[in-house]
């Protein structure tokens, strides 16, 4: 036997491909698993806890539209697990009860790994019923869809939900969305908020929370919360009046806000990851995030140095320099084996560019993405699925076996 050639070029690791599904896409559709493997996809992130949505199901044999009226879980919550957690508790979805387990069983039976896609700090129902747990902006408006990352009750809720989801049978991993700050952007309601454009800095200021927990946090960082709230309104008022292009705080106030926000997000994330590790220490965890430490929304701030053992998942819906920069930020060459997952928009009707998928996937992998997630396999048209298959073949460098 010849010894290995130490001078041979190192083989690039294979890029894994997967896609997103709602549980009702697979539950009751016996062809779903085979359809995925026919696309070359062997990993699916299936929603286990999700916000409200109205979704098309074009290939399901029994229904074509599912209306999820509020945030809910798609498994039966264990009453004993939630008995000591206070008022914030998940609700099981009556429109698709316990469908996550059936979807997981069907997909794993077809040879598809299942990651439990779990939305944490975004839920209109909880924020509406318990407004003290929701973000309170500088003008006194509540954002019921945005649970406050600084709230101890919210941290306990998110940690318990993540742990219970991790305990579901048949999982290969856990994928956590909105594990951090949510803010002004709602992203699923009939929004009527585009009359005044809010640039990035103003949008951040409009998303700052001034609930009692956050006021304590600002105070701990050396800022007077009453004065800070007035400063935020003073900065935002000209933007709403159309007399200023953006809004900003003075450097001292901005520093206090940044320290408080990053610290609160870190605390929430630590609580969640510790709860999951206590439940299933061997289970891989993926976190939706963005490198900007002050980022908020479904992909909140997750600085690369704070990701720890969790694999970052970033949104890369269409070709952009910003998405490639985010991939490079996470793909740290000093962290061997780090997974970096890029979520790729693949549905033309949702703004994706199916014709550009192969080229965009190639750019993402060249930038350091180790996995690609196509969004969204259940919503995709036949033409979208054909484009996904072509992109998977291009990533693999070989045709998919029939």
**For 192-209, what is the mean pLDDT?**
90
> Is residue 262 included in any domain, yes or no?
no
Q: How far apart are CA 360 and CA 330, in angstroms?
A: 18
Residues pairing with 119 in the sheet: 177
> Is residue 373 included in any domain, yes or no?
yes
Mean pLDDT over each residue of the chain, to the nearest integer: 93
pLDDT of 302 over the 90 cut: yes
> Is residue 197 included in any domain, yes or no?
no
Query: What local confidence, expressed as pLDDT, does residue 334 receive?
Result: 67
What residues contact residue 103 under an 8 Å CB cut-off, 6+ apart? Answer: 21, 23, 24, 25, 26, 27, 46, 74, 114
Q: How far apart are CA 158 and CA 204, in angstroms?
A: 23
More reliable by pLDDT, 306 or 223: 223
> Is residue 81 included in any domain, yes or no?
yes
Percent of the chain topping pLDDT 70: 95
> Is residue 385 included in any domain, yes or no?
yes
- Residue 3: band (very low, low, confident or very high) from pLDDT cuts 50, 70, 90: very low
367, 388, 398: which is closest to 19 by C-alpha? Answer: 388
Query: What local confidence, expressed as pLDDT, does residue 6 receive?
Result: 37
Q: How far apart are CA 26 and CA 29, in angstroms?
A: 5
**For 280-285, what is the mean pLDDT?**
97
> Is residue 204 included in any domain, yes or no?
no
More reliable by pLDDT, 145 or 399: 145
- Residue 177 phi/psi, 5° resolution? -105, 150
Q: Count CB neighbours of 347 within 10 A.
A: 23
Structural domains of the chain, count: 1
Query: What local confidence, expressed as pLDDT, does residue 309 receive?
Result: 84
- Give tens-digit pLDDT for 342-383: 999 999 999 999 999 999 999 999 999 999 999 999 999 999
Q: How far apart are CA 179 and CA 98, in angstroms?
A: 23
Domain that includes residue 305, residue range: 16-191+273-396
**For 177-201, what is the mean pLDDT?**
85
| Least confident among 171-175, 336-340, 353-357, 385-389 | 336-340
- Give tens-digit pLDDT for 311-323: 999 999 989 999 9
- Give tens-digit pLDDT for 83-118: 988 999 999 999 999 999 999 999 999 999 999 999
> Is residue 199 included in any domain, yes or no?
no
Percent of the chain topping pLDDT 90: 86
- Residue 401: band (very low, low, confident or very high) from pLDDT cuts 50, 70, 90: confident
Q: What is the DSSP string of 44-76?
A: EEEEEEE--EEEE-TT-SS-SEEEE-S-EESS-
pTM above 0.85, yes or no: yes
- Give tens-digit pLDDT for 252-273: 999 999 999 999 999 999 999 9
Sign of CA dihedral 194, 198, 203, 207: negative
Q: Within 79-224, where are the H helices?
A: 79-82, 99-109, 124-129, 152-166, 200-207, 212-220
- Give tens-digit pLDDT for 4-15: 343 433 334 579
- Give tens-digit pLDDT for 111-146: 999 999 999 999 999 999 999 999 999 999 999 999
The CATH number covering residue 311 comes to 3.20.20.80
Q: How far apart are CA 317 and CA 340, in angstroms?
A: 15
> Is residue 224 included in any domain, yes or no?
no
- Give tens-digit pLDDT for 326-347: 999 999 766 777 899 999 999 9
Residues pairing with 143 in the sheet: 135
- Give tens-digit pLDDT for 48-57: 999 999 999 9
């Amino acid at each position: 036997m010849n010894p290995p050639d130490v001078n041979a070029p190192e083989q690039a690791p294979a890029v894994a491909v997967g896609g997103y599904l709602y549980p009702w896409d697979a539950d009751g559709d016996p062809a779903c698993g085979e359809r995925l493997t026919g696309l070359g996809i062997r990993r699916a992130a299936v929603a286990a806890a999700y916000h409200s949505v109205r979704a098309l199901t074009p290939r399901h044999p029994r229904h074509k539209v599912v209306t999820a009226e509020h945030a809910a879980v798609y498994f039966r919550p264990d009453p004993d697990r939630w008995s000591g957690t206070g008022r914030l508790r998940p609700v099981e979805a009556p429109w698709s009860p316990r469908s996550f387990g059936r979807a997981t069983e069907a997909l794993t039976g077809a040879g598809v790994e299942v990651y439990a896609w779990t939305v944490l700090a975004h839920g209109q129902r909880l924020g509406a019923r318990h407004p003290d747990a929701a973000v309170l902006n500088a003008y006194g408006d509540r954002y019921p869809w945005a649970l406050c990352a600084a709230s101890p009750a919210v941290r306990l809720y998110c940690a318990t939900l993540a742990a219970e989801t991790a305990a579901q049978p048949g999982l290969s991993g856990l994928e956590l969305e909105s594990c951090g700050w949510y803010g002004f952007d709602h992203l699923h309601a009939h929004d009527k908020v585009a009359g005044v454009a809010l640039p990035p800095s103003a949008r951040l200021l409009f998303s700052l929370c001034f609930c009692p927990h956050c006021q304590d946090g600002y105070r701990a960082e050396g800022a007077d919360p009453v004065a800070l709230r007035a400063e935020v309104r003073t900065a935002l008022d000209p933007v709403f009046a159309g007399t200023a292009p953006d809004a900003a705080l003075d450097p001292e106030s901005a520093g206090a806000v940044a320290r408080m926000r990053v610290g609160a997000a870190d605390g929430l994330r630590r609580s969640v990851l510790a709860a999951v590790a206590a439940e299933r220490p061997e289970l891989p965890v993926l976190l939706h995030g963005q490198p900007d430490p002050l980022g908020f929304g479904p992909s909140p701030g997750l600085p690369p140095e704070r990701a720890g053992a969790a694999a970052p998942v970033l949104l890369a819906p269409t070709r952009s320099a910003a998405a490639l920069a985010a991939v490079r930020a996470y793909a740290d060459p000093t962290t061997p084996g780090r997974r970096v997952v890029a979520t790729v928009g693949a549905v033309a009707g949702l703004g994706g560019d199916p014709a550009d998928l192969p080229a965009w996937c190639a750019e993402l992998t060249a930038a350091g993405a180790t996995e690609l997630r196509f969004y969204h396999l259940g919503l995709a048209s036949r033409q979208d699925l054909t484009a996904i298959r072509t992109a998977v073949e291009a990533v693999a460098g070989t045709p998919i076996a029939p």
